[in-house]
Chains A and B, each alone.
Chain A
């Protein structure tokens, strides 16, 4: 087994003994600025729009989403907040799916996926989604459009605040994903194309 061989080689090269103690790493660098909630919302909207996403503050999220998905099909996550907003009950919207295969097949065919972001980062226009019984990975990934509902209290200033709230995200979930704008590529001649593998359309609704 190469485990011991490699670790031995590393230790010999570094002049360290097995299990030798380690000095403390440099202190983490976390700087959280003071930003009012109104400014955080404004920054989030501006950043998402700069990435060609749509971003709005919605007083009536149900009506807003009803308008987008009218005549189309969508999958909504099992987040209680979406049900509370009445989004899961909209015509054409399916929700409450707990089977891996069933959800995947559905996500591969619907027009839009609707999620509830665990957090959003104001300074980069980023959505943070943690996989859980409420949020599946595929809903924000397979459909061509992603609609994310963000409760306004969940808008953080940025990465530093996120990692101070979740110093070890692995304790909470097997998968945390940060989404900053629609899927994109510039692999051919550096020409920007949206929606290469993930959703090409992103809508952020601050509630």
Chain B
């Protein structure tokens, strides 16, 4: 476990305000989901999950075919698909386009994919202004922080922290009423929307047979981002494609219910190409950026490939006993919770944070709530095994191996085992938090040692 992961987890655990914020927010989202998918509210929930899983499996297994179908249908509606290997290629494409069109101001709607590649920082580094417009993301951009949660990015912040931030960054009078804070952000961002040259969005789904980008949101900022500026660029991972528009009848029923418990999010936009002849408004140019950024690394393994089925609903975070204690910022990359624990090692390599697949109780709750039935606990186990194999190859686990060999040897020599037991009982449990067991002991209380071993009691019975 890296010291950073350990330290951040520890910091979250000892912060009572943060613990309360995480606990209440995730509890509410969790209960909303339970109510929304209950048999009374959605009798065919399990059938929908099975269908969603089957569609995702089929699409990922034939991903090249659906990417090409998407590409030709986007082109048929006057848009353009741009494939990018990594963040550098995404920002190069946008910077070039901005230069050609003389664009300076970019509005952005929420997108985890652009968080992966730090798109705002890259664009601002080259002199463009790139403004997040989702309220939570806007707050985080002002605070220079990463999203705390996939669907509730500023879950960890209180109205008082937002008040300080707005006062400092927007030079507005201090305001602690949430409605007024929201109104302030609305008015600042409204100006940006109306002046912006380019809108950058993410995508919840890419529809191959329609060449369409589907975006789900509650605020209206994604609608403004995609229709107020003259240029709309949607940035999406290659795994977001689904075969048919009709598949949305399955996915849309699952996404909002799993994320927030809503039947549908307030706005679902189905966008295909720029404004057409006769249409009154909408963008003049439409681009779909298809990002790899490590996704193709997940494809060869038929078992772990399912990690790419994720529709980013966040249900696994809300139900996870580990996420609900250590929170989102303890995780080493943009994706947190159980889905982060399986995506990060596969995108960045297991050595990025070897402890990540182990940061789970394997209780199985994440797999149970997943609307596309990703077997997260199984993938975690596969990744644990990978970490251990690589440790063995690199000889990093010599001490552990030695320990287990000693233990095996003791177990197969009963008289010595008994003697070792007597010595251990006379000495008591190790209490030092230093040494190889230190981390393990630091969070655990061991039961008192019995006066007699089982073998002794058995003999005396």
Using a CB–CB cutoff of 8 Å, the interface residues on chain A facing chain B are 1-3, 5-7, 9-11, 13-14, 16, 18, 20, 22-23, 25-26, 28-31, 47, 78, 97-100, 103-104, 108, 123-126, 131-133, 136-138, 141, 159-160, 162-164, 166-171, 173-191, 193, 195-199
Contacts and interface: CB of A to CB of B under 8 A. Distances in A.
Greatest chain B CB density within 10 A among A28, A166, A173, A191 is at A28
A197 B220 contact: yes
Contacts of B243: 25
Contacts of B288: none
Given A28-B244, A175-B272, 16 more contacts: A6-B290, A7-B68, A16-B65, A47-B263, A78-B280, A131-B281, A136-B281, A137-B280, A164-B246, A174-B77, A176-B270, A180-B263, A180-B265, A189-B178, A190-B152, A198-B267
Contacts of A133: 278-280
Interface stretch (B181-189, B418-426, B450-458): B181-189
Contacts of B246: 28, 30, 163-164, 167
B48 A10 contact: no
A184 B58 contact: no
A170 B207 CA distance: 10
Given A29-B249, A159-B252, A180-B265, A197 B189 contact: yes
B280 A2 contact: no
B223 A141 contact: yes
Contacts of A176: 269-270
Contacts of B61: 14
A169 B211 CA distance: 10
Given A141-B224, A175-B227, A26 B245 contact: no
Interface stretch (B119-127, B134-142, B356-364, B432-440): B134-142
Interface of B: 21, 24-25, 28, 44, 47-48, 51, 54-55, 58-59, 61-65, 67-68, 73, 77, 83-85, 89, 133-136, 139, 152-155, 157-159, 162, 178-179, 181-182, 185-186, 189-190, 193-194, 207, 209-212, 218-221, 223-224, 227-228, 238, 243-250, 252-253, 260, 262-276, 278-282, 286, 290, 292, 296, 299-300
Contact of A136 (B212, B221, B280, B296): B280
Contacts of B292: 2, 6, 9
Contacts of B136: 185, 187-188
Contacts of A3: 83
Contacts of A162: 249
Return the 3 tightest CB-CB contacts between A and B, nearest first: A198-B220, A13-B299, A187-B136
Nearest to B189: A197
B273 A197 contact: no
A102 to B, nearest CB: 10
A97 B189 CA distance: 25
Contacts of B153: 187
11 contacts: A6-B85, A10-B296, A23-B62, A108-B194, A163-B246, A170-B73, A173-B272, A174-B77, A188-B178, A197-B186, A197-B189
- B84, B179, B209, B263 — most chain A CB neighbours (10 Å): B263
B67 A184 contact: no
Contacts of A103: 280-281
Nearest to B160: A189
A188 B182 contact: yes
Contacts of A98: 280
A185 B5 CA distance: 31
A131 to B, nearest CB: 5
B167 to A, nearest CB: 15
